Structure 1
Amino acid sequence: MDKKNRRSFIKKLGVAGAAATISPMAFAKETKPFEFLKRTNGNNDLSTLRIALIGAGGMGTADTLTALEHPNIELKAVCDLYTARLDAAKANWGSHLFTTKNYKEILKRDDIDAVIIGTPDHWHKQIGIDALKSRKHVYCEKPMVHSVGEGMELINAWKKSEKIFMVGSQGLSSLGNEKAKELLANGAIGDINYAEGFWARNSPIGAWQYPIPDDASPETVDWDTYIANTNKRPYEANRFFRWRNYIDYGTGMSGDLFVHLFSSLHFITNSYGPTKISATGGLRYWKDGREVPDVLLGMFDYPDTEQHPGFDLSLRCNFVDGTSGSTYLKIVGSKGSMDVKWEEVVLKRNANSFDDDDPFTKEKMKGKTQLSDRKHMVPPLELVYKAENGYKGAHYDHFSNFFNAIRNSGSVVEDPVFAFRAAAPALLCNDSYRQNKFMEWDPVNMKLKS
């Protein structure tokens, strides 16, 4: 079987239950809802799962709130290095909570089945490994690791643990990604040859100028633990509360935002990732002492594989966008394109890309050199898919996948292998920017090329 035929076979496996082809009849309506493609065959087990939160900042708190929307989930403990967050946890979720500034005290507890890791990026790997060794299931915020060199250590720990490890690129579980994957596999846009993504922000909070509490001090923040695995320096409130701006703790625009786009693209295309990465950008506006760009552009070469044809990807991120708020992923093929959002997919097709699949017409045209002058029915050039009313969102579905996998010994859509293949090109984007050179990556074996 040649590479192109293998691609077709793999695509069909990836959307089991979907129609094998797209015909004009599939475009009878310009707007239609679509359903969540089930990934697990659960037995409806709703046994109680006991969870703990490690890192109770903005994203960790949001994750916990979403987790608690699910039935039979109990929050038992919260860990954070800032005293006021522990106080807020008890105020919001009950005085019964066990709270601590030492995450290892949580991992020792027998009444916890799974932990949510919402810490700054530089602690993801170590807490993740320690949690697995303590026989806990893990939901870890993206990116899974702080540097490419950390990836395989965590993957190996996960494989040995036999525990569920889910990484939190929540858009991956969106209806938009599900539908885009189905459409691509069904040939709706032909063969992919290009993709692009964009993420724009402008407000202080969106650009990581997070508020610093009035009581922030070395007395309320466990600074020594915070920097224990990185460069030693005196306490700085900015580095704790605005950590994304600093390379010791965060992973820049690409680690925060590009990684979402990589996750979606890889899910939709079944790709392992690019082989060549380059980046440029600069600090254009937010002159607040940050060490990472506020405008970043990345270019990525995806090779021809059994999963997909070769294509190019461009990603942009702008924290100085005067209109702000724009986020999208566009996938372009030989017959059309898709604009992919979490709750919407806009399919656009070229007027010359439709084949007349009416068997009567085909039979009549056999052996003829000229087409009939008679006009025929054509499908719409643009089709919009929207999530049905009542859709709870990608964040909710991501946790559903996590909890179902724990209860039913199943699998998750974003395990450490998938997550590392999405994180690596984002992290290498940073390396390319700092080192001013192309980065060569082996996405199959997940290592830098020598």
Structure 2
Amino acid sequence: MSHSQPSRRSFIKSAAGAVAAPFILPSRIWSAETAPNSRINLGFIGVGKMNSGHLGNFLGRESVQVVAVCDVDTNRRENAKKRVDDTYGKQAGTEYKGCSAYNDFRELLARKDIDAVVIATPDHWHAYIGIAAVRAGKDVYGEKPLTHNVHEALTLTKAVRDSGRIFQTGSQQRSSKEFRVAAELVRNGVIGDIKTITTSFGDPAPVYNLPEEAAEPGLDWDLWCGPGPLKPYNSILSPRGVHTHFPKWRDTREFGGGMITDWGAHHIDIAQWALGVDESGPVEVRAAQGKDAKRGAQLVYANGVVLTHETGKGVSIYGTEGEIHVNRGKFELILGGKTVHKFFDKAVDKGTSLDREVILTEREFLKDAKVKLYDSKNHHDDWLNSIKTRERPICDVAVGATTVISCHLMNMSYYSGTSFKWNPTERTFAEGGDPKWLTRDYRGEWVV
């Protein structure tokens, strides 16, 4: 923030006093089972490609009402505001102007009427805004990867616990049946003792090296950079206007973590769920062979299982009696070298479906399973239910922390080209490694 703007304390105080009560939809447009005062008021922070999807989902729910959106880009926030107003106006059969739009997330968080927020900013903002949100008394749905570094994962987890708020990490694969069944098969020993796991996703992130472009009108670039360095503007990071693709800020170490913290945060998460190490993590990280390698880094767990980053089928788990391959909409169980159930390629696996193969697998091999994992049918539903019950969601902040720490450790090995030992209890290096890798240099007031 520039020095001409008010301090954080005065800003929030004035914002809280200036916000008027939101327009409430006529109760006739809601179901009789949903009383107006029982709805959850939501705010959306960062309304680019990812949160546009979340917004569409929540706008169709009678149990919630979207009352505010926030983005540092004028076009994106005004587009999101219009979308909310148009949707509710159509439902009510009258003009609706009840959604507020903010440039600064602190102004949104200062509103006492907002119960929960959905955060889908670039990675470098996840921790700071998440911490501010729970301290402001909001429940949170926070996109993965949970944070930009290890220090932030630990700090955010503590803030959530201290606040007593609900925090769902947006690792939605945990709410998909094929992944849960795959994990249960492993937990119940169906494929024997686990030996190795391979996870397939793209490259680690390079350092920022993009040329400067003319500033985008209506974009608060200083606030976009926030805790990260104030780099020259480039539309690759924050596209001009309303975009429908995932921007390439993920491919910078300063603002993301490459595909290691993008798809890796999904697939490593499932591998660790299957191993039952949500409360710990790896004990060793082995660097890939070869200079500038982009595949081959390994995470080693206390039970001897080695997880390797490769190009493959998604998540592949190999045991003494068989193997499991799983990805979104894809599933394969092999026992004794023979495929038992499979739906991986609809052009090849004709005459069946994912649901059929997964359900048959569950009936045949997990009917009397001793280990049954948390069964969530929908990640958003699970979060909303947790808000009501105050029980932790399927991908609680601590789960997101363990997953993202493993991703960061893998990235460290790629960035440094070195191997090291890790203490998953203390969440620090046991041998080798540099403590400075666990955090970052923060800019201005945006210190986590």
User: Is the pair's TM-score, using the shorter chain for normalization, greater than 0.5?
Assistant: yes
Counterpart of 2:64, as a letter, is I
CA distance in 1 between partners of 2:48 and 2:56 (Å): 12
Gaps of 5+ in 1: 1-43, 202-213, 285-292, 305-309, 318-325, 352-379
Higher Cα radius of gyration: 1
Secondary structure in structure 2 of the residue aligned to 1:233: coil
The offset of 1:197, in angstroms, is 1.6
Q: Which residue of 2 aligns with 1:273?
A: 281
Deviations 1:308-328 (A, max 9, x none): xx21111236xxxxxxxx752
Q: Which residue of 1 aligns with 2:207?
A: none
Identical aligned residues as a percent? 28
1:200/1:327 contact within 8 Å kept: no
CA distance in 2 between partners of 1:76 and 1:283 (Å): 50
1:123–1:382 CA distance, 2 compared to 1 (3 A): same
Instruction: Please state if 1:313 is matched with 2:307.
Output: yes
The offset of 1:404, in angstroms, is 0.7
Q: Which residue of 1 aligns with 2:237?
A: 239
1:170/1:395 contact within 8 Å kept: no
CA-based RMSD of the aligned residues comes to: 2.9
CA distance in 2 between partners of 1:114 and 1:427 (Å): 28
Q: Which residue of 2 aligns with 1:117?
A: 119
CA distance in 2 between partners of 1:278 and 1:249 (Å): 25
The offset of 1:101, in angstroms, is 0.7
The offset of 1:228, in angstroms, is 3.0
1:277–1:75 CA distance, 2 compared to 1 (3 A): same
Deviations 1:391-427 (A, max 9, x none): 9xx9971111111110111111211211111111211
Gaps of 5+ in 2: 1-32, 86-96, 204-212, 240-247, 344-352, 359-374, 432-448
Q: Which residue of 1 aligns with 2:317?
A: 331
Counterpart of 1:330, as a letter, is S
1:343–1:234 CA distance, 2 compared to 1 (3 A): closer
Instruction: Please state if 1:421 is matched with 2:427.
Output: no
Secondary structure in structure 1 of the residue aligned to 2:286: strand
Instruction: Please state if 1:301 is matched with 2:307.
Output: no
1:175/1:343 contact within 8 Å kept: no
CA distance in 2 between partners of 1:55 and 1:421 (Å): 24
1:428/1:439 contact within 8 Å kept: no
The offset of 1:387, in angstroms, is 4.8
1:259–1:45 CA distance, 2 compared to 1 (3 A): farther
1:192–1:239 CA distance, 2 compared to 1 (3 A): same
The offset of 1:200, in angstroms, is 6.0
Q: Which residue of 2 aligns with 1:384?
A: 342
* Number of matched pairs: 342
Instruction: Please state if 1:187 is matched with 2:196.
Output: no
Deviations 1:85-115 (A, max 9, x none): 0121123221431101100011011221111
Counterpart of 1:300, as a letter, is L
Q: Superposition pairs for residues 122-137 of structure 1, below 5 Å?
A: 122-137=124-139
Q: Which residue of 1 aligns with 2:265?
A: 259
Q: Which residue of 1 aligns with 2:331?
A: 345
Q: Superposition pairs for residues 36-185 of structure 1, below 5 Å?
A: 47-94=38-85, 95-185=97-187
Deviations 1:323-381 (A, max 9, x none): xxx75211111100111123443211006xxxxxxxxxxxxxxxxxxxxxxxxxxxx75
The offset of 1:239, in angstroms, is 3.4
Deviations 1:26-74 (A, max 9, x none): xxxxxxxxxxxxxxxxxx9994211111011111212222333444121
CA distance in 2 between partners of 1:388 and 1:70 (Å): 25
CA distance in 1 between partners of 2:217 and 2:100 (Å): 21
Counterpart of 1:194, as a letter, is T
Question: TM-score, structure 2 length as denominator?
Answer: 0.70
Q: Superposition pairs for residues 12-23 of structure 1, below 5 Å?
A: none
2:201/2:260 contact within 8 Å kept: no
Which of 379, 388, 399 is 1:407 aligned to? 388
2:199/2:268 contact within 8 Å kept: no
The offset of 1:303, in angstroms, is 1.5
> Higher mean Cα deviation, 175-184 or 132-141?
175-184
1:238–1:311 CA distance, 2 compared to 1 (3 A): same
The offset of 1:282, in angstroms, is 9.7
CA distance in 2 between partners of 1:103 and 1:418 (Å): 25
Deviations 1:116-149 (A, max 9, x none): 1100000000000000000000111111110112
Using CA pairs below 8 Å that are at least 6 residues apart, which structure has the higher relative contact order? 1
CA distance in 2 between partners of 1:268 and 1:423 (Å): 16
CA distance in 2 between partners of 1:281 and 1:218 (Å): 42
CA distance in 1 between partners of 2:122 and 2:377 (Å): 22
1:83–1:297 CA distance, 2 compared to 1 (3 A): farther
1:339–1:80 CA distance, 2 compared to 1 (3 A): same
Secondary structure in structure 1 of the residue aligned to 2:227: coil
